[in-house]
């Protein structure tokens, strides 16, 4: 398979920030290389974006939406190419990659429909007065995007920012820059309203700190989110943060253990656990714990692990060696602290960054595996004596992204969505939220609403206009001139 050389390609060394070498996590082979930016490039991009924002904002919402619909059509015509690129640079099974690409294109189309309908409101004061609350673009939006679902996340955020009239500086993850570069090329947004800038924190941090950026939308880890929020706070800029999670899955008494295991396996092993809302902690009622754990272990052993481009692969590699080291450290630490390893937990020999689907039971609640985001194919199970205990343990975390509860009891389902301190509660399904649904993370998992129609509010400022009729000048008075 050919190595992708960016037309702007440089020939620097591997650690040189002027170039990023992208490696296939399934083979270790070079997929492509791309030039990286710098603090100076970030500054230049902001200046370009400020000029572009004025031009782009003058187009009507319907015109901006038309441009986005056309861009979505072009991306759809290149969906297979984008999916393959995403698999080669990130490791996802090709079917999952295509799902992400289609979700991204769907989000562009959805925001193109919603943008022109994004309306403010009006109020009447005196009978001849009106107050208008009008949405205006913020100006320049910087998007700092992660590697784990790069096309879907980028497409939705770019579309929401553009349709509301903002100029965008899009910084893909340094681990998946090639799909980001290609998205921007294919979208062909006029006016210079969409720029792409590559690099790691050496480019992201100057963008977050830049006075000329009106909104920094960061999707990524809690640690980086804190740094971005601090950089924005120092200059009173707005930060919108969609961060990591440590999502619980509660398995209540009375559920079918086979079905619950199927849900748990999908929640823990999809995209090798590298999903912000992956199931990272499982609290199972003692009544079903034994058959549930056996079924989960069986499913983990049956999963076909391999390169994402191979037919039949159900789980690909982790994104890189550093991610695999972190996952393995969480697993070994939990085992050292007394967890029972039911399967997996070994770093395989051979090329690539593979890690087996791993199931642990009786994980101590103090282990990193239950306290820090793992982001790997690991199902960490604890047995609880009651639904009360499950809720208590589920809430015993600083994260607050999402949670799932599997229960036949309507009363317990109601309690769960009321009492779980998270942004999204899913009852009886780990996945399957409606396309276009909002997500407003709680606690350390973020700030603001990162998806759905509400994202259009985040991307705009509401200006208030108070209108009253002027008093006409009296006849023969000052207004008529005295010559
Ligand atoms: P990350 O925070 O390391 O990087 C995300 C982006 O921020 C990248 O573009 C990166 O280059 C940039 N960045 C890194 N340091 C920076 C700094 N100091 N200043 C400015 N920018 C900086 O996250 P990641 O490892 O790429 O992604 C995985 C994380 O993303 C996980 O924690 C996952 O849960 C989270 N995530 C959250 C959501 C959500 O919607 N809540 C979705 C996907 C992923």
Q: What confidence score (pLDDT) does residue 478 get?
A: 56
The closest alpha carbon to 281, from 348, 339, 216, 351, belongs to: 339
| Residue whose CA is at the smallest distance from ligand 1 atom 9 | 173
From the DSSP assignment, how many helices (H) and strands (E) are in the chain? 15, 19
17 lines ligand 1 (CB under 6 A): no
Q: What confidence score (pLDDT) does residue 475 get?
A: 87
Instruction: Give the DSSP per-residue string, 14-44.
Output: TT-TTEEEEE-TTT--EEEEEE---HHHHHH
Cα 146 to ligand 1 centre (Å): 5
What whole-number distance in Å separates Cα of residue 161 and Cα of residue 460?
A: 9
451 lines ligand 1 (CB under 6 A): no
- Closest atom of ligand 1 to CA, residue 401: 41
Cα 148 to ligand 1 centre (Å): 9
Token digits for 429? 């399904």
20 lines ligand 1 (CB under 6 A): no
Cα 145 to ligand 1 centre (Å): 6
Q: What confidence score (pLDDT) does residue 10 get?
A: 35
Q: What confidence score (pLDDT) does residue 13 get?
A: 38
Distance of CA 396 to the CA centre of its chain: 24
What whole-number distance in Å separates Cα of residue 122 and Cα of residue 88?
A: 50
Residue of 152, 224, 234, 242 with the most ligand 1 atoms within 8 Å of its CB, for mutation: 224
Summarize pLDDT for 208-223 with one digit per residue, the tens. 999 999 999 999 999 9
Summarize pLDDT for 238-268 with one digit per residue, the tens. 999 999 999 999 999 999 999 999 999 999 9
Task: From residue 15, give the alpha-carbon distance in Å to each of 6, 22, 79, 199, 205.
Answer: 17, 12, 31, 12, 19
Cα 157 to ligand 1 centre (Å): 14
DSSP H helical segments within 33-176, as ranges? 39-57, 61-77, 79-90, 94-114, 150-163
φ, ψ of residue 452 to 5 degrees: the values are 75, 180
| Residue whose CA is at the smallest distance from ligand 1 atom 43 | 276
Q: Which helix (H) or strand (E) holds 280?
A: strand 279-285
170 lines ligand 1 (CB under 6 A): no
Q: Nearest 5°: CA angle at 103, between 272 and 29?
A: 45
| Residue whose CA is at the smallest distance from ligand 1 atom 26 | 146
The closest alpha carbon to 171, from 138, 195, 140, belongs to: 195
Q: Whole-model pTM? A: 0.96
Cα 87 to ligand 1 centre (Å): 19
242 lines ligand 1 (CB under 6 A): yes
- pLDDT tens string, the chain, 483 residues long: the values are 677 876 543 333 334 468 999 999 999 999 999 999 999 999 999 999 999 999 999 999 999 999 999 999 999 999 999 999 999 999 999 999 999 999 999 999 999 999 999 999 999 999 999 999 999 999 999 999 999 999 999 999 999 999 999 999 999 999 999 999 999 999 999 999 999 999 999 999 999 999 999 999 999 999 999 999 999 999 999 999 999 999 999 999 999 999 999 999 999 999 999 999 999 999 999 999 999 999 999 999 999 999 999 999 999 999 999 999 999 999 999 999 999 999 999 999 999 999 999 999 999 999 999 999 999 999 999 999 999 999 999 999 999 999 999 999 999 999 999 999 999 999 999 998 888 888 889 999 999 999 999 999 999 999 999 999 999 999 876 554 443
What whole-number distance in Å separates Cα of residue 183 and Cα of residue 170?
A: 10
Strands 130-137 and 460-467 turn out to be antiparallel
Q: Is 320 helix (H, G, I), strand (E, B) or coil?
A: coil
What whole-number distance in Å separates Cα of residue 246 and Cα of residue 244?
A: 7
Q: What DSSP character marks residue 305?
A: B
Distance of CA 392 to the CA centre of its chain: 27
Q: What confidence score (pLDDT) does residue 4 get?
A: 80
- Provide the β-strand partners of residue 426: 404
46 lines ligand 1 (CB under 6 A): no
CB 156 within 8 A of CB 43: no
What whole-number distance in Å separates Cα of residue 394 and Cα of residue 92?
A: 29
- Closest atom of ligand 1 to CA, residue 276: 34
Q: What confidence score (pLDDT) does residue 18 get?
A: 87
Token digits for 246? 């440590």
What whole-number distance in Å separates Cα of residue 168 and Cα of residue 157?
A: 10
171 lines ligand 1 (CB under 6 A): yes
| Residue whose CA is at the smallest distance from ligand 1 atom 28 | 220
């Amino acid at each position: 398979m050919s190595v992708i050389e960016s037309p702007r390609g440089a020939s620097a060394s591997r650690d040189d920030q002027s170039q990023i070498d992208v490696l296939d996590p399934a083979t270790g082979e070079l997929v492509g290389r791309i030039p990286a930016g710098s603090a100076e490039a970030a500054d230049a991009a902001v200046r370009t974006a400020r000029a572009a924002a004025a031009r782009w904002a003058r187009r009507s919402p319907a015109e901006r939406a038309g441009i986005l619909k056309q861009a979505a059509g072009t991306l759809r015509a290149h969906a297979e190419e984008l999916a393959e690129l995403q698999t080669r640079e990130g490791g996802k099974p090709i079917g999952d990659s295509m799902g992400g690409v289609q979700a991204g294109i769907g989000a562009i189309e959805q925001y193109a429909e919603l943008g022109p309908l994004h309306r403010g409101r009006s109020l009447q004061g005196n009978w001849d007065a009106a107050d208008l609350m009008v949405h205006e673009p913020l100006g320049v939006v910087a998007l700092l995007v992660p590697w784990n679902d790069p096309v879907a996340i980028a497409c939705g955020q770019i579309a929401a920012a553009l349709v509301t009239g903002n100029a965008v500086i899009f910084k893909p993850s340094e681990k998946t820059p090639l799909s980001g570069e290609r998205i921007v090329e294919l979208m062909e947004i006029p006016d210079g309203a969409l720029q792409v800038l590559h690099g790691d924190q050496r480019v992201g941090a100057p963008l977050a700190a830049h006075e000329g950026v009106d909104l920094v939308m960061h999707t990524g880890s809690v640690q980086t989110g804190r740094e971005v929020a601090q950089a924005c706070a120092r200059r009173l800029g707005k930060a919108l943060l969609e961060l990591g999670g440590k999502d619980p899955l509660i398995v209540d008494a009375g559920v079918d253990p086979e079905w619950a295991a199927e849900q748990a396996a999908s929640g823990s092993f999809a995209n090798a656990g590298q999903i912000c809302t992956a199931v990272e902690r499982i609290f199972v009622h003692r009544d079903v714990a034994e058959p549930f754990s056996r079924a989960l272990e069986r499913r983990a052993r049956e999963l076909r692990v391999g390169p994402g481009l191979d037919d039949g692969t159900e789980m690909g590699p982790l994104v890189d060696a550093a991610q695999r080291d972190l996952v393995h450290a969480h697993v070994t630490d939990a085992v050292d602290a007394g967890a029972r390893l039911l399967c997996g937990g070994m770093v395989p020999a051979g090329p690539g960054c593979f890690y087996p689907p791993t199931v642990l039971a009786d994980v101590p609640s103090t282990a990193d595996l239950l306290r820090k985001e793992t982001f790997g194919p690991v199902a960490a199970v604890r047995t609880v004596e009651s639904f009360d205990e499950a809720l208590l343990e589920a809430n015993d975390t600083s994260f607050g992204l999402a949670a799932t509860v599997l229960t036949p009891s309507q009363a317990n389902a109601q309690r769960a969505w009321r009492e779980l301190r998270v942004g999204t509660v899913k009852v009886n399904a780990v996945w399957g939220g409606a396309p276009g649904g909002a997500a407003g993370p709680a606690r350390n998992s973020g700030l603001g609403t990162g998806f759905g129609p509400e994202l259009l509010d985040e991307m705009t400022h509401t200006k208030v206009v108070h209108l009253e009729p002027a008093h006409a000048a009296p006849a023969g008075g000052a207004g008529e001139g005295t010559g």
